[in-house]
Amino acid sequence: MHLTKRLNLSAVDESLRQVEAHWNQIDDDLDRKKIGRKDTPFTAVVRERMMAAYSYLDSLLAQQIVPFSSDGIPEMLQLNLKVHYGNDTALMKEYHLAIKATAEKFRKQIIPVEHWYRQHRMDHPLKIAAEIYVAILGSPQLFIEGNHRTGSLIASWINMCAGYPPFVLSPENAIAYFQPSSEIKHFGNKTTWKGKSRLPKYRKSFRAFWESHIDNKFVLPTFRG
């Protein structure tokens, strides 16, 4: 029998509800600390779509599908779709051209990310998760939009398949999360001197953040599947 970690979706939802309730304060703090306000406010709609994505991730865990397997790679794109559209099939149909463009970008950009993963798959899982997040968010980004949200889901997926808890956004960790994420996004272009010189620092700082902010309260008691 295989031990499988599963998400405590109720705890995830409660944490995201707290982010929604405190979003104006979080956004003001981001502005005050010169991190920058977020383009997408964390509304009830965003929360509901994130919960659809977390539920989908939980189904992948139940099926024991792992990231960067032949079955897992296409599911990364599905997580991005859930982040944007939730379970709204009518909305997906309306935005079919955007979905097609996202899929084309993903298929191109996943190749070097997968290559890095294959080379480093024996590294510590938390290092792999943090580095994959940086690779998703840094230029060129893996998806057209939603790289922060989808990146945290994919990194949490890596965590949980290795026996570690996920990261879930909360009012307490939001500033610490968005600060390095904003820097990675801004300076992540390895083709520039500034990007090359700064990216290692952000990899190191984000790994430290990642290891400090994963939480077992978002994991159900281990069961046998």
Grade residue 225 by pLDDT with cuts at 50, 70 and 90: very low
Sign of dihedral through CA atoms 33, 214, 41, 94? positive
Q: How far apart are the first and last CA of the chain?
A: 6
Does the pLDDT of residue 89 top 60, yes or no? Answer: yes
Residue 36: its pLDDT value, please?
Answer: 85
What pLDDT does residue 32 have? 93
3-state secondary structure of 223: strand
Section 151-168 average pLDDT: 97
Specify the DSSP element, H or E, that contains 86.
Answer: none
For residue 103, the model assigns a pLDDT of 98
Q: What rounded mean pLDDT belongs to the chain?
A: 89
One-letter identity of residue 190: K
Closest by alpha carbon to 15, among 168, 204, 134, 199?
168
pTM: 0.91
Is the pLDDT at 4 greater than 80? The verdict is no
Strands 3-4 and 223-224: what pairing? antiparallel
Q: Which residues contact 218 (CB under 8 A, 6 or more apart)?
A: 7, 8, 11, 12, 15, 165, 166, 168
Q: Measure the CA–CA gap between 208 and 223, rounded to whole angstroms.
A: 29
CATH fold of 3-224 = Fic-like fold (1.10.3290)
Binning pLDDT at 50, 70 and 90, where does residue 202 land? Answer: low
Largest CA distance in the chain: 51
